[in-house]
Amino acid sequence: MKIRSLANIYIIKTLILSSVLVALVACSQQSSESSKALDDSIAAKNTEYLTRDIKDDIFYFVMPDRFHNADPSNDNGDPNRPISFGGLDKTSKWAFHGGDIQGIEAKLDYIQDMGVTAIWMTPLLRNRAVQSDGFGHHGYWVIDFTEIDPHFGSNQDLRSLIDAAHARGMKVFFDIITNHTADVIKYKECHKLDGTFIKDEPGCQYKSTEQLQSGDVYTPFVLDAEKAVKFPEWLNAPKYYNNQGDSYWQGESVVNGDFAGLDDLNTSNPEVVEGMTEIFKNIIDEFKPDGFRIDTVKHVDLSFWQSFGPDIVAHAKSTGIPNFHIFGEVYDGNPAVLSKFTTAGKLPSVLDFGFHFNVKDSLFHNKDVNRLGQLFDNDDYYRDADSSPEILMNFLGNHDAGRVGFFINQGFDSVSEAEKLQRSVLGHAFMYLSRGIPVVYYGDEQGFTGDGGDVDAREDMDASLVEVYNDNELIGSRQTTAEDNFNQRHPIYQSLQKFAKLREQHKALRSGLHQNRLIDNTKRIVAFSRIDTDEKVEYLAIFNMGMQTQNVSLNVDSFSYSSVFGNNAKVQQGKLTTTLEPLSFVLLKADQTHKGSEIFNVTMPGTYIDNKRLFIPVNLTFGEQKALPLAEVDFYLVDKDGIETFISMDNTQPYRAIVMPEAIASMEELKVLVRDGSGNEMSKRFAF
Its sign, for the CA torsion 330, 333, 339, 340, is negative
Q: Among 512-526, 568-582, 636-650, where is mean pLDDT lowest?
A: 636-650
Instruction: Find the mean pLDDT for residues 103-109.
Output: 98
Most distant CA atoms of the chain, gap in Å: 92
CA distance 461 to 98: 12
Q: Per-residue pLDDT for 259 more than 90?
A: yes
CA distance 397 to 442: 10
The question of whether 295 is a catalytic residue gets the answer: yes
C-alpha of 17 from chain center: 45
The 10s digit of each residue's pLDDT in 1-51 is 333 333 333 333 333 333 333 332 333 344 444 445 544 544 455 789 999
Predicted confidence at residue 360, as pLDDT, reads 98
Residue 286 or residue 42, greater confidence: 286
- Surface-to-core class of residue 529, CB atoms within 10 Å of its CB (0-12 exposed, 13-18 middle, 19+ buried): buried
Q: Per-residue pLDDT for 622 more than 80?
A: yes
Instruction: Find the mean pLDDT for residues 202-215.
Output: 96
* Helix pair 3-25, 28-51: axis angle to 10 deg: 150
Rounded alpha-carbon distances, angstroms, from residue 513 to 97, 181, 449, 523, 628: 43, 40, 33, 25, 11
| Predicted confidence band of residue 667 (pLDDT cuts 50, 70, 90) | confident
Average pLDDT, the chain: 92
Angle 566-570-576 from CA coordinates, rounded to 5°: 95
Predicted confidence at residue 40, as pLDDT, reads 52
- The CA radius of gyration of the chain, in Å to the nearest whole number, is 27
**Closest C-alpha among 341, 329, 435, 431 to residue 386:** 341
* φ, ψ of residue 116 in degrees (nearest 5): -70, 140
CA distance 532 to 633: 16
Predicted confidence at residue 44, as pLDDT, reads 53
Instruction: Find the mean pLDDT for residues 649-670.
Output: 89
Instruction: Find the mean pLDDT for residues 427-451.
Output: 98
Predicted confidence at residue 433, as pLDDT, reads 98
State the amino acid at position 381 in one-letter form.
Y
List residues bridging with 572 in a β-sheet. Answer: 575
What single DSSP character describes residue 189?
A: T
Predicted confidence at residue 8, as pLDDT, reads 36
C-alpha of 595 from chain center: 34
| Predicted confidence band of residue 688 (pLDDT cuts 50, 70, 90) | confident
Predicted confidence at residue 355, as pLDDT, reads 98
Predicted confidence at residue 413, as pLDDT, reads 94
State the amino acid at position 480 in one-letter form.
T
Residue 233 or residue 20, greater confidence: 233
| Predicted confidence band of residue 287 (pLDDT cuts 50, 70, 90) | very high
The 10s digit of each residue's pLDDT in 35-49 is 455 445 444 557 899
CA distance 35 to 20: 13
**Closest C-alpha among 145, 146, 182, 149 to residue 264:** 182
Predicted confidence at residue 35, as pLDDT, reads 46
CA distance 393 to 404: 16
Instruction: Find the mean pLDDT for residues 295-322.
Output: 98
Residue 408 or residue 677, greater confidence: 408
| Predicted confidence band of residue 454 (pLDDT cuts 50, 70, 90) | very high
| Predicted confidence band of residue 595 (pLDDT cuts 50, 70, 90) | confident
Residue in 246, 329, 462, 532 annotated catalytic: 329
| Predicted confidence band of residue 336 (pLDDT cuts 50, 70, 90) | very high
Residue in 295, 352, 462, 676 annotated catalytic: 295
The 10s digit of each residue's pLDDT in 152-175 is 999 999 999 999 999 999 999 999
CA distance 330 to 313: 20
Does this model's pTM top 0.75? My answer is yes
